[in-house]
């Protein structure tokens, strides 16, 4: 009985205040199109070896969660991270979005990536999850997490003891 009263009170409060008490369905096609457009700008900046432009696509409080590394928070650390990747020989990357879903202010993208090195040779490939944050009507990378599908190098155990 008490839970029914609380539910009725919440329903009345929603009606009186005009609050949206049920989640609105986002226009996922529009969100996906926006994500794809930002991904294209990311790819272009990466191919231009422009870590600053890459970092500018992240939210100010964005975070990169790289495999084998510590989280990098904020645009300055994110720019330094991508500058290190570029200095290590990466010459660009391609993103392939598999799905996008979310709500009004946050969206989640899942996909795959490849990273190219000198001569366009693929140096890594894997999968990723990005949480996107809506800011001033546009979408920014908020949390960027990925891992490689390439098996790690395994030391030759026969040589390890020498």
For position 26, what pLDDT does the model report?
52
Instruction: For tokens 């020498």, name the residue.
Output: 162
Domains and CATH numbers, the chain: 25-149 (3.10.450.50)
DSSP 156: -
pLDDT for 152: 78
pLDDT at 40: 98
pLDDT at 103: 75
In this predicted structure, what is the pLDDT of residue 13?
38
Predicted TM-score (pTM) of this structure: 0.78
Enumerate residue ranges in the chain where pLDDT < 70. 1-26, 156-162
Q: What is the pLDDT of residue 94?
A: 97
Residue 144, CA distances (Å) to 61, 111, 124 in order: 12, 12, 17
pLDDT computed for residue 158 by the predictor: 56
Q: What is the pLDDT of residue 157?
A: 60
State the pLDDT at residue 161.
Answer: 54
Other beta carbons within 10 Å of 87: 10
Q: Which helix (H) or strand (E) holds 85?
A: helix 74-87
């Amino acid at each position: 009985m008490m839970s029914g009263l609380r539910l009725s009170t919440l329903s009345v409060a929603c009606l009186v205040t005009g609050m949206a008490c049920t989640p609105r369905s986002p226009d996922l096609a529009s969100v996906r199109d926006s994500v794809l457009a930002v991904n294209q700008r990311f790819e272009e900046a990466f191919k231009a070896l422009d870590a600053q432009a890459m970092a500018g696509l992240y939210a100010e409080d964005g975070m990169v969660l790289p495999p084998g590394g510590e989280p990098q928070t904020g645009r300055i650390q994110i720019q330094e991270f991508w500058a290190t990747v570029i200095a290590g020989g990466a010459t660009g990357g391609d993103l392939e979005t598999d799905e996008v879903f979310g709500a009004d202010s946050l969206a989640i993208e899942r996909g795959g990536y490849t990273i190219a090195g000198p001569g366009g040779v693929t140096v890594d490939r894997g999968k990723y999850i990005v949480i996107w944050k809506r800011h001033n009507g546009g979408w920014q990378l908020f949390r960027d997490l990925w891992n490689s599908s390439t098996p790690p190098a395994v030391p030759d155990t026969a040589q390890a003891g020498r």
